[in-house]
Amino acid sequence: MATLNPLISGAELEGRLGKESLRVADCRFYLAEPARGRKEYVANHIPGSRYFSLDDDLTGVVGAGRHPLPSATAFGDFIGRSGIGPAHNVVVYDDAGGGIAARMWWMLRSLGHDRVRVLDGGWETWTAESRPTTRQVPQWPATAFDGGADWTGVITAEQIEAARSDVLLIDAREPERYRGDVEPIDPVAGHIPGAVSVPYVGNVGPQGRFLPLEDLKSRFAVTAESDRKLVGYCGSGVTACNNLLALAAIGRPDALLYPGSWSDWCTSGRPVATAP
C-alpha cells in the first residue's frame, strides 16, 4: 500500500470542502500570546474547520517537558468527542509553516490514524491565493475514536541513554540554541550530545510551502547515511514534529519523537554539549 503524502495543497483541499468525510483542524497558535490563535480563528478560518489549541487540546497537564503529551486514552476520547472518527480524512493547518499543525498530525498518526495531512503553506498561502474563508463554526457530531492506550513512535530520555549508539538525534531548534549561544526559554543552553542540527524552519521556502522533495532529502542527507534509528527533538516536543513530517514526506515515516525534548533533558542533570 502506498504511503499517504503527509502534505496537501490548497487546491486539493478546496476541492474537498463540504465532504462529510472531511475534518479540518485550525491549529494557529502563538507562544507569547496563547489566546491569539483562537481569536484569529473566530475572526476568520477555512470553511468547515474547527479550532484546536496547542495549550488546551494538544498538551497534557503532567509529564516530561514544557508541552507534555496528554495520555493517549484521554486524547483519543477528546478527539472522538470533537467529532473525528476513524473514517474521517483530517487536514491540519496553522500559519507557522506547519510548526504547530505537525504536532496534531503526529499525535493522530501515533494513535493509528493515518488519514491525516498538513496543509502545505497553511493559512497564509490559503488567503494569499484568495481561497474561501468564513466565520461559521461547523458542528461535528461526537463519534468513537479508539487510538489505544499508549502513544506509538515515542522514546524517553532513559531509552535514548540506553541506546546511544543506535539512535541518531535530530535537533529542530534554531542553530544558535543548538550551539548554546543563547537559550531564551530553558534554564540550560546547548544540545544533547551527539545530536545533529536540522532547524525545522528550513523545511519551508519563502512562500511558506515545504521545499521540493529533493531539497528536503538534501537537508536530511545525514539520515540517509545512517542506519541508526532517527529521533526528533526540539525544545518541548512540538516543532520536532515538523521535522518528522518532512522525513515522512521523503520516505522516512519511522522516525521517533522524544516528547520531553530539550526542556526535559536539560533539567534532568544529563550531559549537555555546546558548539557545532
Residues 6+ apart with CB under 8 A from 88: 21, 22, 23, 115
Helix (H, G, I), strand (E, B) or coil at 161: helix
Q: Are 192 and 161 in contact (CB under 8 A)?
A: no
What separation, in Å, do the N-terminal and C-terminal C-alpha atoms of the chain show? 40
Q: State how far the Cα of 98 lies from the Cα of 104, in Å rounded to an integer.
A: 10
What single DSSP character describes residue 18? T
Radius of gyration for the alpha carbons in the chain, expressed in angstroms and rounded: 18
E strand or H helix that includes residue 222: helix 221-224
Contacts of 11 (CB under 8 A, 6+ apart): none
Catalytic entry in 27, 234, 241, 266:
234
Report the interhelical angle of 101-110 vs 240-249 (nearest 10°). Answer: 70
Query: Is 266 annotated in the active site?
Result: no
Which amino acid, 167? V
For residues 165 and 229, the answer to whether their CB atoms sit within 8 Å is no
- Distance CA(42)–CA(27), nearest Å, equals 12
Cell numbers placing 238: 512540538
The candidate with the shortest Cα–Cα distance to 160, out of 93, 259, 55, is 259
Residue 181 cell numbers, joined? 549561544
> At residue 22, what are phi and psi to the nearest 5 degrees?
-95, 135
Catalytically annotated residues? 234
